[in-house]
Amino acid sequence: MRPTLFALALLATTPLLASAAKPELSTLAERTGYQQTGRYDEVIALCEAYQQAFPKAVRCFDFGISPQGRPMKALAVSTSGALTAEDAKARNIPVVLAQGGIHAGEIDGKDAGFGLLRDLLQGKVGKGLLDKQVFLFVPVFNVDGHENFKAWNRPNQRGPAEMGFRVTAQRYNLNRDYVKADAPEMRAMLALVNAWDPLATLDLHVTDGAKFRHDISVTGDPVNVGDAELRSAGKALRDGIIARLQQQGSQPVDFYPSFAGYDDPASGFIETAYTPRFSSGYFPLRNRLVMLIETHSWKTYPVRVRSTYNALLDTLELVARHGSQWRQAELDADTRAAQLAGQPVALDYKTTDAKRIINFLGYAYKRVPSEISGSDMVVYDERTPQLWMLPLRDTIVPGLSVNAPKGGYLVPAEHAAQVGEALRLHGIDFRTLETPLANAAVQAFDADSVKFSAAPVEGHQRTTLSGQWTSTTANLVAGALFVPIAQPKARLLMAMLEPQAPDSIAAWGGFNNSFERKEYMEAYVAEEQARLMLAKDPALKAEFDAKLKADPAFAKDPMARLDFFARRHPAWDKGYNRYPVLRSDVAP
């Protein structure tokens, strides 16, 4: 039996690797029986204290500065002697990244991680684990949000008494920002990831949702998405964590327990493949493992911290045993990704209607009329456990797939700064063309449908495009970018530059100017030109007459009829609705 967190907090032992000084390593959470959690100054103090207490095993460092000027702290922890990214890479030592507080009200990971670090370093648990890996711990990712600190920041959560807030000081939701990387905090995190290249990342959260008995969910990828051969490693990590959690007394599930129908337990669950705005959708596109650890919000804070503590320890045990094998699988996936040219690649995924019935540990509940909302409300009875038999849809298949370009992407010089900055953030290779390209054979994407979101999302007007790539020629001035598809992050590259990818630069509104009409033909001019065009081109007249007969809505719409001719006139703006990034079959 592993000792409980409370027992570990009370044990007084001599650190195996401690220096002569013995700084305070306990947290406010431990000292208050997990009724409270500390402020961010505690993170700063503990980071330095661990380095002082274990100078050969811990390096405390800043990896960024928040918009409000706070240092973003990380701890590299290992007894292998590798405490820098360069040393870990040179010695092929696997790195496990655990990030707490991406949503700063969901702060279990911070207190669980600090408790686990002390217990590992003092030899109470996991002896030898840190000899075989680097544990890269970010106690709080959203540091400014952490200091937006008060009770009721998480109204659907039991404890601690006060906590941080979901979004950053600039009101970015960091777990919607991975691929678009608007927030300075996310840009700092991506630099950390690029430097350390973790074998596995653990994103530590707390759920919202209904009241039930399961205390933790473990989901992640690649399990349903990404490189097909790497999915066995993702499943092994997920299933290994779940098996160990069960032995430790948890009741885990391997899907995110959010009802298919809002506030309706009988509706069951739908497993989702996340897009790369989320951590769990981002890392598979880099051919790396990621696990989303979600404790259940209605469990008490000490129970949630214990579950998170165990999940972290379980991951380190699994990586100590299988890390070399999984790392080779990731490197093999890198090689395969660099050979995707011309092959179909899924841009998004969907869940099929196939379902199975599962046992789910719930509570008795009833629906009663509410005089507040005027509709029915759900009332759970936590004194009465109940076994729910619920449908689960968890068969995930590719949605939209496109063939990867045979050569790569060409970014015109006028968009090079914007796109180049985004590619650099993610460590994607590209080069700048020093000479012009004349009459280059390319493919261009012309949108036949453009839908702008009615409301902003994360400060963007999102855009949904449909259309197709067609062959054409283009002239590009010096300063254009060539982004080869032959590179390990090919899937991530396509997620950013394919216009129909759900989290592409285009989807986040980065090229909306290209889909706004800038020049017009006055109606009286279109009338005049249409008559001249019909007189000169019998085939055009036949096409127009046929459309009038076949399309009643068109026939009744004066502006659509005039637009028919405007689009075929030499004055038509060919840049309108053309996606500015091009594809090429060859490297220039």
* Chain segment 355-384, per-residue pLDDT in tens: 999 999 999 999 999 999 999 999 999 999
Stretch among 5-19, 238-252, 327-341, 556-570 having the lowest mean pLDDT:
5-19
pLDDT of residue 369: 96
292, 200 in Cβ contact below 8 A? no
pLDDT, tens only, 511-561: 999 999 999 999 999 999 999 999 999 999 999 999 999 999 999 999 999
pLDDT, tens only, 407-445: 999 999 999 999 999 999 999 999 999 999 999 999 999
**Cα(549)–Cα(187) distance, rounded to whole angstroms?**
56
pLDDT, tens only, 289-310: 999 999 999 999 999 999 999 9
b (16+ CB within 10 A) / e for 509-537: bbbeebbeeeeebeeeebeebbeebeeee
Beta-sheet pairing, 95-99 with 200-206: parallel
The shares of helix, strand and coil residues in the chain, as percent rounded to the nearest 5, are 35, 25, 40
Q: Tokens at residue 251, please? A: 């009741």
pLDDT, tens only, 56-106: 999 999 999 999 999 999 999 999 999 999 999 999 999 999 999 999 999
Instruction: Give which of 223, 363, 367 is closest to 299, Cα–Cα.
Output: 363
Residue-averaged pLDDT of the chain: 95
Beta bridge partners of 476: 437
pLDDT of residue 503: 98
The residue behind tokens 């490197």 is 331
Enter the DSSP assignment of 457. B
Reported confidence tier of residue 13, pLDDT bands at 50, 70, 90:
very low
What values do phi and psi take at 578, rounded to 5?
A: -100, 125
What element of type H or E holds 43?
helix 40-53
What values do phi and psi take at 124, rounded to 5?
A: -80, -30
Q: Which long-range contacts (CB under 8 A, 24 or more apart) does 456-459 make?
A: 458/172, 458/173, 458/176, 458/177, 458/180, 458/182, 458/508, 459/172, 459/182
- The DSSP annotation for 66-97 comes to -TTS-EEEEEEE-SSS--SHHHHHHTT--EEE
Contacts of 180 (CB under 8 A, 6+ apart): 277, 458, 460, 503, 505, 508
Reported confidence tier of residue 15, pLDDT bands at 50, 70, 90:
very low
**In whole angstroms, what separates CA 206 from the centre of its chain?**
16
Rounded to an integer, the average pLDDT of 443-459 is 97
**Cα(437)–Cα(481) distance, rounded to whole angstroms?**
11
- pLDDT of 255 strictly over 80: yes
Q: Tokens at residue 536, please? A: 């000169």
pLDDT of residue 371: 96
405, 345 in Cβ contact below 8 A? no
Rounded to an integer, the average pLDDT of 277-285 is 98
540, 568 in Cβ contact below 8 A? yes
pLDDT of residue 441: 98
576, 517 in Cβ contact below 8 A? yes
- The DSSP annotation for 395-407 comes to -EEE-SEEEPPSS
pLDDT, tens only, 41-60: 999 999 999 999 999 999 99
Asked whether the bond before 160 is cis by omega within 30 degrees of 0, the reply is yes
pLDDT of residue 21: 54
